[in-house]
A = this chain, B = another copy of it.
Amino acid sequence: MTVTTVGIDADDTLWHCESLFRLTHQRFVGLLAEHGDEARIEAQLAATEKRNLRIYGYGAKGFTLSMIETALELTDGAVSTRVIREILAAGREMLTEPVEPLPGVEHALATLSERYRLVLITKGDLLHQEQKLAASGLGDLFAAVEIVSEKDADTYRRVFERHGTGADQAVMAGNSMRSDILPALEAGAWGALIPYPLVWAHEAAQAPVGHERYVELGAIAELPAWVDRVAAL
């Protein structure tokens, strides 16, 4: 099988992201502790996020707006402006948090980039994702960067057509079954799941059963050898 292109997810594949969201969730629950228990606050926040996803999309700015909206709803407007200020600050901190590649990322990308066209494929705030890539120092290893509003099969078809020889000769690797693996397989690509300890509820999905183009790896360090094996089939 010829493999020309390897697509790689960014958040929680190349660097921590969900852990930062979880910390911000904890901070949010703490700020509203007198207005409800953790389960109630989290449920309300999840409902707000889900309702807003269609207009806000993914990323820290929309998440910050959803936290403010949730705080107003949960307290029936009785939230203090100190709490609103804290939420704004938490959102800004998410956007300016230092970025550090996860263990093994740099070596794996360097190895892959010698043999394949590497394309970063990620959702989220456009500017924030560009800034994280720049801060990570990994930018030069990628032949192209695609920041997209949604990861569905059409997205992968389009990206692998533009930066290679089509999805059929491409591998997609990432931590999200729902966003990185299932739609890439649907587009006809190979899919390598690299689990991250935390998964945002919205990204959870069942693994495909007995799919010949799917693999779950223990770490990104295993990715180059697996892609080479696919290419040698």
What is A's interface to B at a CB cutoff of 8 Å?
A: 55-58, 61-62, 64-65, 68-69, 72, 75, 77-79, 81-82, 84-85, 88, 91-92, 95-96, 125-128, 130, 147-149
Interface of A is mostly: helix
- Bound-complex Cα distance A61 to B58 (A): 11
Q: Is the pair A56, B127 in contact by a Cβ cutoff of 8 Å?
A: yes
CB distance from A64 to the nearest CB of B (A): 6
In this complex, what residue of B is CB-closest to A144? B162
Which B residues are in CB contact (< 8 Å) with A79?
81
Contact A65 B61 (CB under 8 A): yes
Top 6 A-B pairs, shortest CB-CB distance = A57-B127, A127-B149, A77-B81, A61-B61, A55-B95, A126-B126
Closest to A73 in B: B85
Q: In the complex, what's the smallest C-beta–C-beta distance from A51 to chain B, in angstroms?
A: 10
Contact of A61 with B68 in the complex, beta carbons under 8 Å: no
What residues of chain B lie closer than 8 Å to A128, measured between beta carbons? 55, 57
Residues of B within 8 A of A126 (CB): 57, 125-126, 147-149
A159 to chain B: closest CB distance in Å?
13
